[in-house]
Amino acid sequence: MFDVINSAQQPRVDKLQLSALVCLMAVGVAFIYSATRDTVDTLPLYDQLWFRQIIWYVLGIGCAGALCLVDYRSLSRFSFILYWITIVMLILVLIPHVGSVRFGARRWFDLKVFQLQPSEFAKLAFILAQAHFLSRPPEELKLPGNFWKAIGLMMLPFVVIMKEPDLGSALVLIPTGLAMMFVAGTPRRYLFRLCGGVGLLGVLLVADVLFAPPHFRVPIQDYQRQRLLVNFGASFANAGA
């Protein structure tokens, strides 16, 4: 499944990618600070959301650094095990009295000390499993069966996460999975046809949200509908309200 790595090859740091990551992290902290400025003078530093975000950044960078020290071939052996563990967790969190409900969604395990959100682990597990599956020879990637298996790996966590509901986390999986398939060498005609179909469905969904009467609307959550309406301007947002 994997090519042998040349032991003489030196690791290369992708400075452009790291720079983009740092910029995104800075923008994220700035947005959180801007949205919670009214709490800056009323809450202690450790209890402010923007500062907590920085703490999570530090922990994430530490975990990423530790992961870089692990041979990716070792990770590949456990990728599907991790994938199915997260799928089970995503199903368990939907069970009443097992998953906790906050803000109208059942997305967390209440561990008393902290809230565990399995969809965050599902993103990483999906990437590892998809990478392992797509590491097969180019001839095998051309087979329609393998194309649909890769789509199935992506859509299974997508559907379960949507049940919580968590539209934002679910939508992260689709561009990630399609980008991995493109880079791995999946025939472009498969991807273009799929993207064309998904794009058409997206246009129909937006048209339904903006113009369809209430009894003909697609059954999505009210907050999701409001987000779409706000994105298209005040007139649509007021009409939706």
Within this chain, do residues 61 and 74 fall inside the same structural domain, yes or no? no
Residue at 34 is within a domain:
yes
Does 180 lie in the same domain as 82? yes
In a domain? residue 8 = no
Domain end position, chosen among 7, 38, 69:
69
How many Å from the N-terminal Cα to the C-terminal Cα in the chain? 53
Pairing outcome for strands 105-110 and 100-102: antiparallel
Is the separation of the CB atoms in 190 and 134 below 8 Å? no
pLDDT, block means (10 residues), the chain with 241 residues: 47 81 92 83 79 91 86 85 95 90 83 86 93 92 93 94 86 92 92 89 80 73 72 58 51
Closest by CA to 223, choosing from 199, 202, 235, 241, is 241
Task: Dump pLDDT digits (tens) for 34-50.
Answer: 888 877 777 777 778 88
**Domain shared by 111 and 153, yes or no:** yes
Structure confidence at residue 49 (pLDDT): 86
pLDDT averaged over every residue in the chain: 84
Residue 212 lies in a domain: yes
3-state helix, strand, coil in the chain (%, to 5): 70, 5, 25
Residue 49 · residue 36 · CB < 8 Å = yes
- CA atoms within a 13 Å half-sphere pointing along the CA-CB vector of 117: 15
| 148 and 45 co-located in one domain | no
Q: What angle do CA 153, 158, 159 make, to 5 degrees?
A: 105
111 and 43 in a common domain: no
Query: Is residue 11 assigned to a domain?
Result: no
Strand partners, 116: 109
- Tell me, what's the pLDDT at 208? 78
> Are both 106 and 182 inside the same structural domain?
yes
Pair 50, 90 in one domain: no
* 3-state per-residue secondary structure call for 187-226: CHHHHHHHHHHHHHHHHHHHHHHHHCCHHHCCCCCHHHHH
Segment holding 108, helix H or strand E: strand 105-110
> If DSSP codes are grouped into helix, strand and coil, which group holds residue 143?
coil
In this structure, are 78 and 150 located in the same domain? yes
Do 115 and 153 fall within a single domain? yes
Q: Domain ends where: 186, 204, 229?
A: 186
HEC-encoded secondary structure of 29-44: HHHHHHHCHHHCCCCC
- Which amino acid, 34? S
Residue with the two structure tokens 């530093």: 45
Long-range contacts of 107-115 (CB under 8 A, 24+ apart): 107/164, 107/166
Instruction: Specify the pLDDT at position 24.
Output: 93
Determine what percent of the chain is predicted with pLDDT higher than 90: 41
- Boundary (domain end) residue, out of 139, 162, 186: 186
- Distance in angstroms (rounded) separating the CA atoms of residues 226 and 167: 13
Residue 6 forms part of a structural domain: no
Whether residue 211 is contained in a domain is answered as: yes
Please tell me the total count of domains within the chain.
3
Please report the pLDDT score of residue 240 as a whole number.
53
> Bridge partners of 105?
102
Whether residue 200 sits in one domain with residue 172: no
Coil, strand or helix at 40: coil
Does the residue 14 lie in any domain? no
Q: What is the pLDDT of residue 6?
A: 47
120 part of a folded domain: yes
Closest CA to 136 of 122, 125, 126, 150: 150
Question: Which range of residues forms the domain containing residue 214?
Answer: 189-241
Asked if residue 197 and residue 105 are part of one domain, the reply reads no
| 81 shares its domain with 133 | yes
Kindly give, in sequence order, each residue whose CB lies less than 8 Å from that of residue 55, ignoring residues fewer than 6 positions away.
none
